[in-house]
Amino acid sequence: MRTAARFAVGLRLEDVAVARGGRTILADVSLTLAPRETLLVKGRNGAGKTTLLRAIAGLLPVERGRIALTNAGSEAQDRRGHAIYAGHADALKPALTVRENLAFWAKLHRAPIARIEEALAALDLASLADQPAARLSAGQKRRAGLTRLVLSGKPLWLLDEPAAAIDADSLARLTGLVKAHCDKGGAAIIATHDRISLPSARAVIVGPEATA
């Protein structure tokens, strides 16, 4: 399933406009993302970073313009099948253990069971796997939420403020994970303030400052 052709994916946005609740949040956003590339999306609070990521993930309809996958072979039309969004909300059920939460996501993503342990190890959660999610700290919850990226096996990662609440070590681990993902042919878009440093990443600004 995870052949190189399917895994190498890029993205092109052409004059995209997205509205939420009848109000246009984003207008005329154009950008390209090549396979193996990481894009940092910056902008003030409320500039539309989350809206952009949700639109790319297919969770929000695009009002105008076009979002297209590139370099993804013939089955590239379904964007949803290639992108995974890890948002502010960690999607954890407090009453379930960390491993149970991951197992649920793995089933939804049709991921092999082995990938659960892989994801736990990737975000240093193996020792917490049998704790109820309710007992995790904010940073641990965020890390558990980010395991969705690894579990999904999707080539295009969309991270929304992943640095919030996590410590420097975990942040280094996360950036390492994103880098390894991109080296394998994947791509990532990270909405963030300036805490994340990825030398290879390109930055774009959305919102009012973008045109200034």
- How many residues bind other proteins (CB under 8 A)? The answer is 30
Among 90, 120, 177, 181, binds other proteins (CB under 8 A): 90
Q: Which residues contact 192 (CB under 8 A, 6 or more apart)?
A: 40, 41, 42, 159, 161, 162, 163
Residues 111-150: x/- map of binding to other proteins (CB under 8 A)? ----------------------------------x--x--
Verify binding: residue 45, other proteins, rule CB under 8 A: no
Cβ within 8 Å of residue 183, ≥6 positions away: 36
Identity of the residue, 148 or 181, whose beta carbon is nearer to other proteins in the bound complex: 148
Q: Are 190 and 196 in contact (CB under 8 A)?
A: yes
Window 144-163: contact mask with other proteins (x via CB under 8 A): -x--x---------------
Query: Of the candidates 94, 173, 175, 105, which has an alpha carbon nearest to the alpha carbon of residue 138?
Result: 94
Q: Taking the complex as a whole, how short is the minimal distance between the CB of residue 212 and other proteins, in angstroms?
A: 28
Residue 17: CB partners within 8 Å, gap ≥ 6? Answer: 24, 26, 27, 28, 29, 62, 63, 64, 65
Residues that bind other proteins (CB under 8 A): 19-21, 57-61, 80, 83-85, 87-93, 95-96, 100, 104-105, 107-110, 145, 148
